[in-house]
Amino acid sequence: MEERAYTIPLRVVYNRAARKERAKRAMNHIREFIARHMHADPENVKIHTSVNEIVWQRGIEKPPRKIKVVAVKDGETVWVYTPEVRAEIAKAEKKRKRAAKKKAAEEKKEEKKESKKKTTKKAAKKEAEEQPTEEKKEEKSEQA
């Protein structure tokens, strides 16, 4: 996965688009900018709702003049997030990985315990089998 941070200038959209089309054009501009800089098709650029909310926050007529985003390329798909949301997602991914590691470690411990139990049971069976033979030997020696 490739991850890059960008500050996308939206003044071009602000100055060249009709007032009632600015926010919509800003979203298209973000998609095109990311596609150009991450070497991907505009169809494969997925924009997170947090970016959408920031662009539309002040309405259709007044999108921000620039926006900070983080682009993450996963295969051919490029995901666009705000830095805050990306940090939360990364934190959640780390937490998931830690939980998976912990679960795997617990499973290993359980397997070891089970294998120890099996070996102790086998040893107990062997001892139980051996004891009667020893008793029989003692009986034979007493009889003789």
Domain spans of the chain, in order of start: 2-81
- What are the residues facing 30 on neighbouring strands? none
Task: Say if pTM beats, i.e. exceeds, 0.85.
Answer: no
**By CB neighbour count within 10 A (0-12 exposed, 13-18 middle, 19+ buried), where does 55 fall?**
buried
How does the average pLDDT of the chain come out, rounded? 88
2-81 under CATH 3.40.50.720, yes or no: no
pLDDT tens by residue, 97-134 = 899 888 888 888 888 877 777 777 666 666 666 665 56
Bridge partners for 112 per DSSP? none
Residue 139 is predicted with a pLDDT of 64
The 10s digit of each residue's pLDDT in 73-101 is 999 999 999 999 988 988 998 899 899 88
Bridge-based pairing state of the strands 45-47 and 77-81: parallel
